[in-house]
Chain A
């Protein structure tokens, strides 16, 4: 019973209250900017859900957040802080779009999986560089993934901006050629941009959950996340688990990249992601690294991203306000003590840990 209550507190109540507090902080910023928070938030809601095509557009924005949120969450579960989702998104987009515009005239059932595999493979290989550096040399993944982000941005702009490489001919803006018609993800609602990628993202949630919670790979991953020494003592290869986790994380981030191309953009420019991968860290935090939790968290971020346009149209409150709301939500999530303090929640007594440390050197009596 106590465990159930604690779960409710940490997985539902704290994120929920954090979101409410985040909106309250946002409201203060709106007032400071000289607008009416109620009007702004009702426009935000209308722009995210009730306007013409708004819900479909929110789901379009939610799609990359789901896949990237899962990517970051899977890293968290193994104790890895993958800041590189943005870069893996780029590399996945690059390798995927290359396949998607190179192949011609095959049926979609062949072209889409080919492009998807290319994108996921690109992201996985890219992320496992950071994994291997950590496993082999102990280089911290936060540092290496941040650095690899820059490398991937520059690789992308070099490939996309250079004639003879991936730059399309006769275009006014630097971008790759359009993908083959067969590689386009089918539209779900005619007249909107909602595409099959959303369903793929939804399917990824139970798959990732099953992988983490019900397979030996997932067990190793969680064991390494809990305690590397214990995992090693139990005979697991910590290094291999780290590389594999990063590869899985990168594959999901790469999938987000190629889905965005096959479903929304149909070609790649050199500034395609613009922050999805960084927002995803917040999505995973808000979800408490739980794959199921990623879904509502991603929906929230998708709705904020999408609703911001209409909010600005109606009230001229800058779309950047959304960043304030997101950031405050994360501060409240990251510091659950604040939420506890606000509600004077009594800290549940810590249960006695079953395993006690034995003092090896203690003299026997």
Chain B
């Protein structure tokens, strides 16, 4: 009996686990799709190594899948697989292929090669690549669509807000690599937008030099550049470039200046700078992904590149959050006016893509 007593700890643990399993099994039923669905569309998403917890690209793209699932008219069932290593990309896409999914969404340009290869091998499955439209080497397979965004438009709108809010008539942008087109689109749009509403404004911009592993990931550099801009009287900083840009935002917060985030609503993704963040220039990845899913369900899927801009609400400005009460209704009206004109196409950002 002495030996058995030694096992009690393990057995107690086992019983606890078993009990928990029962509870989970009874309580955790998933919502069943409504009976009106004649077919359930299975949509799988594969992340890059940033995984779903990145609060940015992967997270927002998966939100698009979840939104489609929540929309009962679409009859979509969505799942995600997170990639741990680069070798995982073809394998994780293959998991959804084996399970005969209807659509596979891959997030980020690093999955580009694997996605194109899988699309060619599986013509009956639809493939969606988020933020990838580089088909120069490859003729686009008829079952593949790349989602691209007009970053100059939210950049222009953010610039307009900054141009109206600045007290010193000097604003700045701390950006990632100049070789990455979306970064340049954001920054040029920002400068043009600021000058559109305030011709007297001076826009200071700097791009991060090639820094190897620190590309888009050098907050110290971003912070230094923003601080330099403050020395030249800037009072608003637009951070465009992952952690490099975040360094600029952090400098603004510490120096009591204003800041503008990028890509997603950084009030949510980077709460450290909430107290200086007047808005973020957003790409609506969730909407774009949901749009692609909807096109498949409704039979209007087209291969090639799907562009997202103001006219289809694929880009925009995030809420003002803490600054909602501090921004005058006059400024808000002017920004809304610029937005309406961009949407209608009566003004352009002056940025060639």
Contact = CB atoms under 8 A, between A and B. Distances in A.
Interface stretch (A111-119, A216-224, A270-278, A281-289): A270-278
A52 B109 contact: no
Contacts of A172: 109, 112-113, 132, 134, 136-137
B82 A31 contact: no
Interface string B201-230: 000000000101101000000000000000
A162 B134 CA distance: 19
Interface string B5-21: 11101100110010011
Interface in B108-155: 109-110, 112-113, 132, 134, 136-137
Interface in A234-269: 260, 264-265, 269
A24 B85 contact: no
A329 to B, nearest CB: 16
A53 B28 contact: no
Interface in A31-67: 31, 34-38, 47, 51-53, 57, 60-61
A319 interface: yes
B205 to A, nearest CB: 23
B79 interface: yes
A24 B98 contact: no
B110 A320 contact: no
B343 interface: no
Interface residues of B, number: 49
B98 A52 contact: yes
A273 B86 CA distance: 8
Given A269-B86, A320-B51, A36 B21 contact: yes
A162 B212 CA distance: 8
Contacts of A313: 44, 79, 81, 95-96, 99
Given A157-B212, A274-B86, A57 B3 contact: no
B324 to A, nearest CB: 35
A98 interface: no
B25 interface: yes
A170 interface: yes
A37 B5 CA distance: 26
The 10 closest A-B pairs by CB, nearest first: A344-B6, A172-B134, A274-B85, A31-B20, A157-B212, A157-B213, A158-B212, A319-B82, A312-B81, A309-B92
12 contacts: A34-B24, A35-B28, A153-B213, A158-B212, A172-B134, A193-B90, A272-B86, A274-B85, A313-B81, A320-B82, A343-B7, A344-B3
Given A36-B21, A270-B213, A319-B81, 20 more contacts: A24-B14, A27-B17, A28-B17, A31-B17, A31-B24, A36-B25, A37-B17, A172-B109, A172-B112, A172-B136, A172-B137, A173-B110, A272-B86, A275-B84, A309-B81, A309-B88, A310-B95, A316-B80, A318-B82, A342-B10
